[in-house]
């Protein structure tokens, strides 16, 4: 059961706060873009209402006995995207956009996982980002970033032509390898331009929904 975050949460769900002795329900936080589970905390009705008002995820601290907005000290907020309640009306799923690391240790998640989608392309993209931000003399990717946008764009063009040539032949291995080369260099070009794979996916999703 999902509800638009621009509407009031009060009275929308029959959340069973009385099911637990402390009147709190578990709230699982998931990154809206990557699907990664970021953390687990607890909420009461006041925390839910505050979350809607601020559009920043707010919990109830069992140790401090008061509300706390995630990021109020660190600046690493969780921007609210959606809230769902489970089939038993006693657990919340919060979908949010993190503005920084979620865990107090500085990790992306409280399980010390990288906050990237479970897809190798996104993992590869993060490697490319690292090669850009932390260049190495031994890295081919770093050398492309050093040569600049024109060289990177040229490589994408070359790989595209090679893929077209292989498409006219019947070698599966050569065709797929050229496709991999083109995709790899396109990911580099995206980073060089300041964009990401998610930006392209968002456009594809928007086209699909029209």
pLDDT along the chain (210 residues), means of 10: 41 75 92 92 94 96 95 96 91 95 95 82 92 95 97 97 96 96 97 94 90
What pLDDT, on a 0 to 100 scale, did the predictor assign at position 204?
93
| Domain regions of the chain by residue span | 2-98, 120-209
Q: Which CATH class is domain 120-209?
A: mainly alpha
Tell me the CA distances in angstroms from 67 to 44, 56, 58, 168, one per residue in order: 9, 12, 7, 64
Handedness of CA 163, 154, 116, 202 (dihedral sign): negative
> Would you say the CATH fold of 120-209 matches that of 2-98?
no
Amino acid 116: pLDDT: 74
pLDDT at 50: 96
The CATH code that applies to domain 2-98 is 3.10.20.810
Which pLDDT belongs to residue 7?
Answer: 41
Distance between CA atoms of residues 150 and 158, nearest Å: 12
């Amino acid at each position: 059961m999902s509800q638009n975050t621009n509407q009031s949460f009060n009275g929308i769900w029959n959340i069973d706060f009385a099911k637990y002795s402390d009147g709190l329900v578990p709230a699982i936080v998931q990154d809206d873009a990557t699907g990664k589970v970021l953390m687990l905390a607890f909420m009461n009705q006041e925390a839910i209402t505050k979350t809607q008002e601020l559009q920043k995820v707010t919990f109830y601290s069992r140790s401090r006995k008061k509300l706390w907005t995630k990021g109020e000290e660190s600046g690493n907020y969780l921007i609210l995207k959606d809230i769902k309640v489970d089939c038993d009306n006693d657990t919340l799923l919060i979908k949010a956009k993190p503005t920084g690391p979620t865990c107090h240790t500085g990790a992306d998640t409280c399980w010390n996982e990288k906050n990237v989608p479970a897809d190798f392309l996104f993992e590869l993209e993060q490697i490319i980002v690292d090669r850009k931000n932390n260049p190495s003399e031994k890295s081919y990717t770093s050398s492309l970033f050093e040569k600049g946008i024109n060289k990177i764009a040229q490589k994408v063009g070359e790989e595209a032509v090679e893929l077209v040539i292989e498409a006219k032949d019947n070698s599966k291995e050569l065709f797929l390898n050229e496709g991999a080369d083109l995709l790899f260099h396109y990911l580099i070009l995206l980073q060089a331009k300041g964009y990401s794979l998610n930006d392209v996916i968002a456009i594809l999703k928007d086209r699909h929904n029209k």
